[in-house]
A and B are shown apart, each in its own frame.
Chain A
Amino acid sequence: MGMTMTEKILARGAGRDSVRPGDLLLAKVDFAMGHDLTIPPAGKIMREQMGAEKIWDPERVAVTQDHFQPAKDAASATLGRLTREFSRDMGIKWYFEVGQGGICHTVLPENGLVLPGELVVGADSHSCTYGALNNFATGIGSTDLACVLALGELWFRVPETLKFVYHNRLREWVEAKDLILYVIGQIGVDGARSKAMEHTGESLRYIDMEARLTMTNMAIEAGAKNGIMEFDEVTKEYLEGRAKRPYTPVSSDPDAEYEKVFEFDAEKVELGVAKPMSPDNYAPLSEVAGTRLDQVFIGSCTNSRITDLRRAAAVLENHKVAPGVRLIITPSSHQVAIQAEKEGLIRTFLAAGAAWTTATCGACLGGHMGVLGEGEVCLSTTNRNFPGRMGHPKALVYLSNPAVAAASAVAGVITHPSEVLEKMPAGLA
């Protein structure tokens, strides 16, 4: 019986020839990640409770200062200090200081640290993002991370795999974000609970790596253990000059077993949003157009890489943010910010009247730099809109792609980008 990509990676990690869904394994981890909210508890558990003095491999761990950093208050400064000290004491090679890294899920792929065929864990639920690069990547807790740091191994239950096949090309204005919001709307926030989401089909050939990362990023919003894609020319090209280690891609066997296969016609997917208060509350844009907004946020590990910012800038060029609305733009990494500066995107944002921040998770999780108050309405390029996610439990959050967010900031209400920009420039569409 053949195996899926997910099964093959877990089997290799466990040193077995084959595995089946439901098997419980102890598997070797290739790369691990933690950040300023998860390293302090993990470090404490590892040293004080587990009694480990050093970590299994300082070259295979990355640590970012992204959630509440630059420190939003004195307590966050303590978490930042504990994260910094642990990374220094353990000799962690891939430590990213404030102002030099950014959001973990952008930093790891852009630095070529998470590679095809690998088994990757991160103490953050959106660690499933990395799977667009043909690896098994999943979010874990702090005790999990402490175990991995101490031993380089962790227990896993082999997930059933759901296969998502996409046909045809996305239409004009419709982005990978719309596609994944649509899919989650179809299957629900527990539609892939504890399972693997394998994305495949010819549509992906036309979806670049950054947009693919947006799709696997939101696997957790369907409850999935991981999101994974095949290795192809797009993957290969992205990793050229970037990959920090040699790698071996994996592919699913033709006779691999899937729990279920979903087929989607990408061409039929409309530009859309997730309405409050759940990521599976999908609606076509036409249904919510005209909704009044207090804040627009372009940021997060989901949709604030350079291609996202280029699209937002194309819409904002020669326009102003509407009175009564605030637009906050947070690049997802320092490298993204440098590139945005080189291309003149920041000038466009500032001229439009947007607040441009340093790279941080910031407003996405209601941390800082854009927390919502009671009754406020926000359109956001992020991943979650459960009650209280971005601040007050009675704030309303709509999720969209960056071009819709930018156009809506200009109009002051949820708006189709074609009402602000006639056509997305070639190369950005």
Chain B
Amino acid sequence: MTLPKVVRGRAWKFGSNVDTDQIIPAKYAIYSLDEKELGKHAMEGVPGRDTWASQVGQGDILVGGSNFGCGSSREIAPVAIRGAGISLVIADSFARIFFRNAINMGYPILQSPQAAEAVEDGDELEVDLEEGVIRNFTKGDEYRAEPFPKFMNDLLRMGGLVPWVRKQLEERRRMAASRG
């Protein structure tokens, strides 16, 4: 799976310190291997957003505040958001395990305090993932995302940690074979 260059969609705005128990309550961890089922319950734990997943359009964009995805290490948090149809998560800042998990999955995330501050629920956004530019059609604004280190960008672009490990394993096998 390679990263799209541009994504467009409606913005869904959330606050700061949205933790993984709100993104996907632990009781749904029984669906750990079923992305579609997880998607049906994404963000269900956020007060007032218990029917959110049913309103999301394919390709919409989630915009969070600071420390988005804090709490548990559960990778089903970004998996559930992806399963709900969200194409990209933008936040003021990310909690580290959510951040790692998204990069490792090859799932696009952008850190943009500017966008997190200015975007309102329902705004129409277009995001150039390569350039890190977020255009807000509703407001006529444009925001920049903060660049990630090269290694993380490379991982994202190659589709995450899975293809990277496959390559490492192939190299190890080749080396073992050449040693005979």
Contact = CB atoms under 8 A, between A and B. Distances in A.
Interface of A: 24, 37-38, 40-41, 44-45, 49-52, 67-68, 73, 75-76, 79, 122-125, 127, 139-144, 146-147, 150-151, 155, 157, 189-190, 193-194, 220, 223, 225, 278, 365-367, 384, 386-389, 393-394
Given A73-B30, A79-B30, A365-B26, A189 B73 contact: no
B97 A139 contact: yes
Contacts of B162: 45, 49-50, 143, 146
Contacts of B165: 50, 52, 146-147, 150-151
Contact of B71 (A146, A155, A386): A386
Contacts of B73: 38, 122-125, 127, 139-141
A125 B97 contact: yes
Contacts of B97: 125, 139-141
A190 B165 CA distance: 31
A225 to B, nearest CB: 6
Contact of A143 (B17, B71, B160): B160
B87 interface: no
B175 interface: no
A275 to B, nearest CB: 15
Given A45-B162, A49-B162, A68-B29, 14 more contacts: A38-B75, A44-B33, A49-B166, A50-B165, A124-B73, A143-B160, A146-B162, A190-B66, A223-B70, A278-B17, A366-B21, A387-B22, A393-B22, A393-B46
Contacts of B169: 50-52, 150-151
A143 B105 CA distance: 7
Interface in B1-57: 17, 19, 21-22, 25-27, 29-33, 45-47, 50
Contact of B21 (A50, A79, A388): A388
B180 interface: no
Contacts of A49: 162, 166
B67 A193 contact: yes
22 contacts: A40-B32, A44-B33, A49-B166, A79-B29, A125-B71, A125-B72, A125-B73, A139-B73, A140-B73, A141-B73, A143-B101, A157-B149, A190-B67, A194-B96, A194-B99, A220-B71, A223-B95, A365-B26, A365-B72, A384-B21, A387-B22, A387-B46
Contacts of B30: 68, 73, 75-76, 79
A223 B67 contact: yes
A41 B75 contact: yes
A151 B67 contact: no
A353 to B, nearest CB: 28
B122 to A, nearest CB: 23
A190 B75 CA distance: 19
B161 A37 contact: no
B151 A367 contact: no
Interface of B: 17, 19, 21-22, 25-27, 29-33, 45-47, 50, 66-67, 70-76, 93, 95-97, 99-101, 104-105, 149, 151-152, 155, 160-162, 164-166, 168-169
A397 B30 CA distance: 24
B29 A387 contact: no
A59 B152 CA distance: 30
B96 A223 contact: yes
A260 B38 CA distance: 40
Q: Which label, helix, strand, loop or mixed, suits the secondary structure of the B interface? A: helix
A384 to B, nearest CB: 6
Given A41-B75, A147-B161, A189-B67, A141 B100 contact: yes
Contacts of B155: 155
B124 to A, nearest CB: 29
Given A73-B30, A76-B30, A190 B93 contact: yes
Contacts of B22: 386-388, 393
A73 B152 CA distance: 38
Nearest to B150: A24
Given A143-B160, A278-B17, A367 B27 contact: yes
Contacts of A140: 73, 97, 100
Nearest to A153: B168
A85 B95 CA distance: 32
Nearest to B29: A37
Contacts of A139: 73, 97
B21 A386 contact: yes
A73 B29 CA distance: 12
Contacts of A124: 72-73
A150 B171 CA distance: 13
B95 A40 contact: no
A418 B67 CA distance: 38
B75 A141 contact: yes
B50 to A, nearest CB: 8
Contacts of B45: 387-388, 393
B149 A190 contact: no
B47 A143 contact: no
A155 B148 CA distance: 15
Nearest to A148: B165
Contacts of A384: 19, 21, 71
Nearest to A155: B151
B66 to A, nearest CB: 6
